[in-house]
A and B are shown apart, each in its own frame.
Chain A
Amino acid sequence: MSARTLPGFRPALSFTLLYLSFMVLIPLAGLFLKSAELTWAQYWHIVSGPRAVASYALTLGTSATAAGVTAVFGLLVAWVLVRYPFPGHRIVDAIVDLPLALPTAVAGIALTALYAGNGWLGAPLERAGFKVAFTPLGITVALIFIGLPFVVRTVQPVLQDLEPEVEEAAASLGATRAQTFWKVIFPAILPALVTGTTLAFARALGEYGSVVFISGNLPLKTEVTTLLIMTKLEQYDYRGATALATVMLGLSFVLLLAINMTQAWLRRRNGVEGA
């Protein structure tokens, strides 16, 4: 790029690096320094304790279930919004972003009120034998709410850019609608669907505000890892909180890497297809 002639590179980059270091890098490095105060045995004792392990299982289980549900319904919502311009679809499209705009604590108390034993949805569900609030099911419901926009917003643009000619060609060659969907459309949107679902999953792992009210916070039963970190903090157990935080951060970074790799795959594939 011939942009050498433009002014302001040094001050802009210096300010960027300085602000990034003080706001993000040094604080995050502090976390790892703090965990280095622990010996390996102490660290292992904390992160493999029964309460910690139960919280990982619950967090991973509910997050994966919620991500699966958001993948199916997120794809459906994206499909309907792109392919079927029904009256009012613009408003529906705007509402999809609600979980990102609504404060998580507000979402948390609203979902708890809805799904509690005396709530609009909780009462009929409880009569039918399903207890939602204060169970892992309730946590999953909250994580579905939080994760939905990630799937819809990742799949939607890819669906929009699909060229109708390819589908028309498939149809003219005698493919049924189902064949066209599974053999032509689905492979094209699969990378976006995987990326969106991974984003929803990653968000769910670290979620706190929307989960804390509906979960009931019973140790070993409905205590997700973020909640366990919070409990340790409230007991001034900073080392314990830090050790668990490093486990969560490690997982987040692995997922971030996975997302980047999927996106690279997506770009490569689209590059090949576009050629």
Chain B
Amino acid sequence: MRPRLVRAGLIGVALAFLALCLVMPLVAVFAEAFAKGFEVYWASISEPEARRALWLTAVVAGLSVPLNMTFGIAAAWAIARFRFPGRQLLVTLIDLPFAVSPVISGLIFVLLFGAQSALGPWLEAHDITIIFAIPGIMLATLFVTFPFVARELIPMMEEQGADAEEAAVALGASGVQLFWRVTLPQISWGLMHGVVLLTARAVGEFGAVSVVSGHIRGLTNTAPLHVEILYNEYQFAAAFAVASALSLFALLSLGLRRAVEWRMAQPR
């Protein structure tokens, strides 16, 4: 009798905490978004500035994925399949961006490419703007999403071992064949998992992008930055409308992540 009570009590407290801490904020986003009715909602997410912000976010995330994915695969191949001095250090260095605050992740690119930097005058003379422009947003996003694919693939490939690949090489497979026919099929779900996490972070990044963007409306505003601008202008319904679009994407990424994890747990 008593264990059952303890159990019910613990489940109750845990669920109440999660409802209060995680579910309520999510519900609040949608409630605030529709607070002024569906028409205001629709107008807020379909007006040109919001559309451009959502589009820029999609472009930045869309470009970050292939770049950091290529890096992740190359790093995992070198680290999980070969032994070389400094290998462990390399793993630690790849994880470094996760230990850096988003604000600092943006700051380092301002220091490198901003008008006051050593490169600044040269960039200006050649009409290249990186900071307060889209290339800066791109760099900051690449930095904060840097480790996702590599840290997913390295343990996965280490666990799988190199047997299949060594057999393929012994049978005369070329490097290209080896990658497309043996390695990629083996790591595809892990890769997918890393890409889902990477995309969610790229879409939602705020601090780093905020530092490098310069907040030029309709030009260098990503969706999270647009939310901030609207909120600071007291356009709460509009801010939450754009936030709700981002929240839907976050929920979608959570669902996708679960589906991929479920697939990864299935016996091959």
Binding site for B on A (CB under 8 A): 1-9, 11-13, 15-17, 19-20, 23-28, 30-31, 34, 73, 76-77, 79-81, 84, 86, 90, 92, 94-107, 109-111, 113-114, 119-121, 144-145, 148, 177, 202, 205-209, 213, 226, 229-230, 233, 236, 238, 241-242, 245, 248-249, 252-253, 255-256, 260
A161 CA to B210 CA in the complex, in Å?
42
The reply to whether B204 and A104 contact each other, CB–CB distance below 8 Å, is yes
The reply to whether A97 and B228 contact each other, CB–CB distance below 8 Å, is no
| Beta-carbon contacts under 8 Å, B77-116 to A | 77-79, 81-84, 90, 92-94, 96-97, 99-104, 107-112, 114, 116
B266 to chain A, nearest CB (A): 16
A108 CA to B170 CA in the complex, in Å?
55
The reply to whether A27 and B143 contact each other, CB–CB distance below 8 Å, is yes
Contact A145-B25, Cβ < 8 Å, known A7-B169, A103-B250:
yes
Extra contacts, 5 of them, besides A114-B28, A230-B211 (Cβ < 8 A), are: A23-B143, A77-B17, A84-B11, A226-B207, A241-B107
Query: Of residues A27, A145, A229, A238, which shows the largest number of chain B Cβ atoms within 10 Å of its Cβ?
Result: A27
A9 CA to B165 CA in the complex, in Å?
13
Residues of the B chain whose Cβ atoms lie less than 8 Å from the Cβ of A5:
166, 169-170
Residues of the A chain whose Cβ atoms lie less than 8 Å from the Cβ of B22:
95-96, 98-99, 145, 148
- Judged by a CB distance under 8 angstroms, whether B41 is at the interface is no
Query: Of residues A2, A79, A105, A248, which shows the largest number of chain B Cβ atoms within 10 Å of its Cβ?
Result: A105
Stretch at the interface among B44-52, B121-129, B252-260: B252-260
- Judged by a CB distance under 8 angstroms, whether B38 is at the interface is no
Which of B26, B90, B94, B169 lies in contact with A110, CB distance below 8 A?
Answer: B26
A109 CA to B25 CA in the complex, in Å?
9
A115 to chain B, nearest CB (A): 10
- Judged by a CB distance under 8 angstroms, whether B264 is at the interface is no
Query: Of residues A5, A30, A79, A102, which shows the largest number of chain B Cβ atoms within 10 Å of its Cβ?
Result: A102
User: Binary interface profile of B, 164-208, with partner A (CB < 8 Å = 1, else 0)?
Assistant: 011001100001001100000000000000000100100111110
The reply to whether A24 and B143 contact each other, CB–CB distance below 8 Å, is yes
The reply to whether A229 and B103 contact each other, CB–CB distance below 8 Å, is yes
Which of A3, A119, A229 lies in contact with B166, CB distance below 8 A?
Answer: A3
A245 CA to B207 CA in the complex, in Å?
14
- Judged by a CB distance under 8 angstroms, whether B63 is at the interface is no
The reply to whether A84 and B25 contact each other, CB–CB distance below 8 Å, is no
A17 CA to B79 CA in the complex, in Å?
11
Name the residue of chain B whose CB is nearest to the CB of A202.
Answer: B99
The reply to whether A238 and B110 contact each other, CB–CB distance below 8 Å, is yes
The reply to whether B104 and A245 contact each other, CB–CB distance below 8 Å, is yes
The reply to whether A79 and B169 contact each other, CB–CB distance below 8 Å, is no
- Judged by a CB distance under 8 angstroms, whether B162 is at the interface is yes
The reply to whether A31 and B75 contact each other, CB–CB distance below 8 Å, is no
The reply to whether B82 and A27 contact each other, CB–CB distance below 8 Å, is no
The reply to whether B21 and A145 contact each other, CB–CB distance below 8 Å, is yes
A145 to chain B, nearest CB (A): 6
Interface of chain A, main secondary structure: helix
- Judged by a CB distance under 8 angstroms, whether B23 is at the interface is yes
Q: Closest 8 interchain pairs by CB?
A: A206-B101, A103-B204, A208-B207, A209-B206, A110-B25, A27-B108, A101-B250, A12-B78
Residues of the A chain whose Cβ atoms lie less than 8 Å from the Cβ of B104:
31, 206, 229, 245, 248-249
- Judged by a CB distance under 8 angstroms, whether B34 is at the interface is no
The reply to whether B32 and A113 contact each other, CB–CB distance below 8 Å, is yes
Contact A76-B251, Cβ < 8 Å, known A7-B178, A24-B97, A177-B3:
no
Name the residue of chain B whose CB is nearest to the CB of A110.
Answer: B25
Residues of the A chain whose Cβ atoms lie less than 8 Å from the Cβ of B227:
103, 105-106, 109
B91 to chain A, nearest CB (A): 11
- Judged by a CB distance under 8 angstroms, whether B18 is at the interface is yes
A117 CA to B5 CA in the complex, in Å?
37
- Judged by a CB distance under 8 angstroms, whether B1 is at the interface is no
A245 CA to B209 CA in the complex, in Å?
16
The reply to whether B224 and A16 contact each other, CB–CB distance below 8 Å, is no
Query: 25 A–B contact pairs at CB < 8 A?
Result: A7-B175, A11-B74, A16-B78, A27-B108, A28-B100, A31-B111, A80-B14, A84-B10, A95-B18, A104-B207, A105-B206, A106-B250, A114-B24, A114-B28, A177-B6, A205-B101, A206-B103, A208-B101, A209-B102, A230-B103, A233-B107, A233-B110, A245-B103, A249-B101, A255-B99
The reply to whether B162 and A3 contact each other, CB–CB distance below 8 Å, is yes
Query: Of residues A11, A16, A95, A114, which shows the largest number of chain B Cβ atoms within 10 Å of its Cβ?
Result: A16
